[in-house]
Structure 1
């Protein structure tokens, strides 16, 4: 384990919430399932348009993936514009850029209109390479970004304390405190007639057609009827062959350490080299800034998260003048098979927002504008770009095949290598998937030696979970569901707990 508090800085530096759980059946116009950035942005846009949405959040709002991001809001997404231009045309790349830059402007304008204290700062954003053999490709990417309409330039010098071979710089991007921003949005949503219910996990969505409303059921058996439903739960909780094989989960680590203000690199930076490194700072008081470094992409269920932590900390100490690491956390996201999010309708009056490919801040704000526009009959000009029902065979065929083969191989290999064993063989404070009592079990022994045994089959699609020893949780490597050591759901798409097993 590394030093510091195992907690997101955004969570530690913002107020807790206490919106009531839904305890009685309800009939609503629009139900938004998920209280992260996409769900809250959608609900707020709808309330602003005169609708009265209801947000249903399984835990606490802005406390899931959104509460564990880096708060980097930029249209300068790494290595997306040239592929878009070359495969789908320059007009599509321009629409993508417009949708992302509008999200940047939307946050600044909203924060100022509502008077939100969310550490809003305009900063240039950089995509950089350290290898000289990647410079020509980055120059071509920069040209594509310029053609798409963003204020981009290729530079060889930055304010980073280490050399880079080249960087694409895009002006007037934004960094902020995402949780404070969203808590302010939720308060304004309620003032406008919307409702927020926390600790209200939706476990079933009965899809209807025609004029009949959808029926949602919570884990407590409370039903909600809604004419329109938005699913904004990272990986959608609805079963959809349209999405299941086009979404790939990944996780990244974040560490945060104070630095002197004089050592602030003054901008946002990201590279996909070195297994991803993303750098930004935030206000921290007393003449200091908080350096946030993100990286070490890995799949859920990776059995060596501690090594990724050590490598990220070592890299940070090598490149920046930091002392103690004060916070560390991990975040999860989803890649799509064509690198474009899925935002829009998947059925009659049923919408999703997912697949943000490590650019969740701008995509989440964009989703709010897009989904509210679809529901109110005023969709933005770039709505078709994100339609979940689209098909880009040339871009998607290979990633979809690779993802499907990986999950199938994992499905078979995991079962083949599970050992039969005794609970006593599991180290204290550790977990392992074993054959126990004739079935695959996820077994954890706490520090007192007490065993906690649950089914190892993820309740989403029956993949075997794996133990994350660093965070002490069970993770599904297929679609990213996470469970506590007692089997309770921490993160979907699973909506039900792992079944207990008699030890």
Structure 2
């Protein structure tokens, strides 16, 4: 296995190439200077931005509230495919929900792809939008039969899907599903243009404003960690993993993280289709316009539960695969993305809980958040303005099919229980601190309590409480991204304990030496 190359950016190309402007923070006292809004959208990724924009376009007064920067979470770390063909999804959906559900899913996803085309033209957005075919391919004979079945299932669902053995990949495939006229784009260029238009339509936008409480009523009230309050008739929670779980969605969501490598290729050697295979732990391939007549090859894979396994080794495997299949590809960027999978393979978009009349949620996009986010905006804007779409019921979070969902639900909960209980029973002693190398981290037992200890590149120790502030699972160290991650529900924390990704809304507490923190028992293995 090759070592990780040096001299490339450990950051998202989308973030680096479209930094975007800054927006104000929602501060205490704001409520006394402006009227209430009709809709408050919590979460500034593609689902939140598209929802806020669609509502503003429909004449509603909207506030968009983001805990960090707009389009900088999962949306800023996506592969940015706009495709109604999504791996082997149609077999999964038909098996879990039936043929009509598969048909509605295909229609709604195709509508989302078309919506991006329409809005790009309407607003004149320069977002590198390119039309191209999408493929789900197989190299091995075992997977090929599933691919052939997916072509038939997707076609029956209404997509223009066909089975083929021809692709423009530089290596042979056994077969593939092909759907024409799909698209790819630069997500931040598209979404930041929507935000600009949202503001022009009277919308309010806030960054670095973490919402920590929702009180449903007439009106609903949101409170941020700074104590600012915002009142709205309706609230949409679009925070990837919901920060509120009044619908008990947590047992029905599985969190996965995927790695991304972006490498430079000459334009004449770059494939122009969008590709995905379920083999090798999933491999997704597309290219994007780069510079000097080159294309950026974007490869995704190595799906894993946050906090589980050696992430640096996974990165090396993904780079190996990329350079083996695409000779001469020079890695330029690497990053990672995180998403949630539902137990019946269809996202949750609709009321936050069964009794909710004014609070809504969007989550569970299963790695297809670009079409899922655009669909969310269309669906919730239609619902809140009196024009429901035909697939509204398909995505309703209140659905539950105990018999069909039971195996997946039990599997998800068994995994959570294993981490919640098993991790507590295994603890490292203080001697383990000496074995933490510079740049590394581990959960160790100190004074009878579990602590998350990181040694920085200079050898200094940084100690935090090790229990996730969401529901108390023990965090684990991600050695590639240098972060603490919760394997139960995917919350992520920086080395200083601050929240990088929810559902947690409170940081891990920093532990000083005089509070039982880790004292430096050695500089680690050099």
- TM > 0.5 fold call: yes
Answering whether residue 318 of structure 2 is matched by residue 309 of structure 1, we say no
How far apart, in 1, do the equivalents of 2:251 and 2:186 lie? 33
Count of equivalent residues: 500
1:234 alignment partner, one of 218, 240, 252: 240
Moved over 4 A (4+): 422-425
Aligned to 2:171: 162
| Residue 472, structure 1, aligned to residue 482, structure 2 | yes
Determine if contact 2:154/2:161 at 8 Å carries over to the other structure.
yes
Residues of 2 paired with 1:230 and 1:18: CA distance?
Answer: 22
SS in 2 for 1:400: helix
- Cα offset, 1:86, TM superposition: 4.2
What TM-score, normalized to structure 1?
0.97
Map 1:85-124 onto structure 2 (within 5 A). Answer: 85-124=94-133
Tell whether 2:257 aligns with 1:247. Answer: no
The match for 1:448 is: 458
Distance 1:2 1:58 in 2: 33
Corresponding position of 1:225: 231
CA RMSD between the two structures = 1.3
Mean Cα deviation higher: 274-283 or 136-145: 136-145
Q: Distance in 2 between the 1:329 and 1:240 partners? A: 32
Match of 1:19 among 17, 20, 23: 23
Residues 1:82 and 2:85 are matched in the alignment: no
Question: C-alpha deviations, 1:334-366, integer Å up to 9, x for none?
Answer: 111111100001222110000000111101100
Inter-partner Cα distance in structure 2 for 1:163 and 1:202: 49
Distance (whole Å) between structure 1 residues aligned to residue 209 and residue 188 of structure 2 = 20
In 1: Cα distance, 2:59 partner to 2:9 partner: 42
Shift in CA distance, 283/485, structure 1 to aligned 2, threshold 3 Å: same
Using the TM superposition, name which of 77-86 and 289-298 deviates more. Answer: 77-86
1:344 aligns with 350
Which residue is equivalent to 2:262?
256
CA contact (8 A) 1:142 1:153 kept: yes
Cα distance in 1 for residues equivalent to 2:19 and 2:428: 45
Residue 321 (1) aligns with residue 321 (2) = no
The aligned residue for residue 67 of structure 1 is 76
Q: 1:241 deviation in Å?
A: 5.3
- Which segment drifts farther, 99-108 or 402-411? 402-411
User: Equivalent residue for 1:492?
Assistant: 502
Structure 1 residue corresponding to 2:139, chosen from 117, 130, 134: 130
Change over 3 Å in CA distance of 1:134–1:370 after alignment to 2 = same
Q: Distance between the aligned counterparts of 2:62 and 2:447, measured in 1?
A: 48
**Which whole-Å deviations, capped at 9, do the CAs of 1:428-480 have from their partners, x for residues lacking one?**
22211111132111111222332211110000000000001111100000010
Offset at residue 419 of structure 1 (A):
1.3
Partner residue in 2 for 1:45: 54
1: distance between equivalents of 2:145 and 2:375?
31
Pairing 1:375–2:384 present: yes
Distance 1:323 1:91 in 2: 43
* Among candidates 173, 187, 190, match of residue 181 of structure 1: 190
Unaligned runs of at least 5 residues, structure 1: none
Note closer, same or farther for the CA distance 1:468–1:83 as it changes in structure 2 (3 Å cut): closer
